[in-house]
Amino acid sequence: MAKIVGIGACVADTLINVPRYPTEDTKMRATSTKVAGGGPVATGLVAVSKLGVSAGYIGVLSDDNGGLFLKKDFEKYGVCTANIEIKSGYRSFTSVIWLSAESTSRTCVFDKGDLPPLQLTEAQRGAVAEADILMVDGNELEAAVEAAKHAHGNGTKVLYDCGGLYPNVERLLAETDIMIPSEEFAMGHTGEKTAEDAAKKLFDTYHPEVVVVTQGKRGGILYDGDKLISYPIYPAEVVDSNGSGDVFHGAFAAALAYGFGFEKCCHFSSAVSAMKCMGIGARESVPSFEAVKNYMKENGYEL
């Protein structure tokens, strides 16, 4: 039984490292190219597993090269694949991501493929009911909303990685316990001018247990209906920032599973995300729990 399960995007990423972004209508030689697993919930679940908490993905994958690679990549990192349905004759969700050495930023172009929407089976509902936390990211919206309602009927918490401003996401926001939007999502969805006001409006509108707004290089803020606090970023020589937000969300879920309070979860997740950025690869560079604990201690924070 996985303590943390997830429903959301699962993407076969082609990662292209370049010295800098090329200008339009030019050619540039890449430093390196590789195919890797991606997607907010999918990569978050890998982070959960690497941090020592059992994780499982619930979804539909194709039997094309991308889909079979994604399933094997989950297995490589110890994420349970028992609740993945493999369908023949469809195209996988794929993306091409350019990683700039000059700016340490990334630019992504994606193709969602043509897989049919996830239709939850009884076994998949059972996995949700048995888990402590359900992670969602706004993809597979109908299944995610159904699973979130089923989660609440069985004492499972719902953590929403709010990245994309998808249509009808308010339906999923209304079923969310742990709401972690990017600053762009929070301000875009609420129309507020500051992250602080956006966090308060999200909390007052949807009544989660907590809202954590991520602000990239500026850290982020936490609002629980009582106090509004900031959390810092941790020092890092950034090599590859791709997937750092996905890893943050997975680390937050793992921290909850370890019994940490919300503020400690923010510190822990920020540290994990920083450590991930010091290595190449969104998944390969996720550290172990002990490594994070030592890194935080070195930077003046005791878990």
- Rounded alpha-carbon distances, angstroms, from residue 231 to 9, 134, 148, 220, 241: 27, 24, 28, 5, 19
**Interatomic CA distance for residues 125 and 20, integer angstroms:** 45
**Interatomic CA distance for residues 261 and 247, integer angstroms:** 18
**Interatomic CA distance for residues 303 and 255, integer angstroms:** 10
pLDDT for the residue 104: 80
Q: For 100-131, write each residue's pLDDT tens digit.
A: 989 888 899 999 999 999 999 999 999 999 99
pLDDT for the residue 105: 83
Mean of per-residue pLDDT scores for the chain: 96
pLDDT for the residue 134: 99
pLDDT for the residue 2: 82
pLDDT for the residue 239: 84
Q: For 56-102, write each residue's pLDDT tens digit.
A: 999 999 999 999 999 999 999 999 999 999 999 999 999 999 989 89
pLDDT for the residue 185: 98
Q: For 271-287, write each residue's pLDDT tens digit.
A: 999 999 999 889 999 99
Tell me the average pLDDT across 6-29.
95
**Interatomic CA distance for residues 71 and 69, integer angstroms:** 6
pLDDT for the residue 216: 92
CATH superfamily of the domain spanning 4-21+30-120+131-298: Ribokinase (3.40.1190.20)
**Interatomic CA distance for residues 50 and 59, integer angstroms:** 20
For residue 1, pLDDT beyond 80: no
| Structure-token match 């450590």, residue found | 275
Tell me the average pLDDT across 123-146.
98
For residue 242, pLDDT beyond 90: no
Tokens read off for 214? 């991520």
* Structural domain spans, the chain: 4-21+30-120+131-298
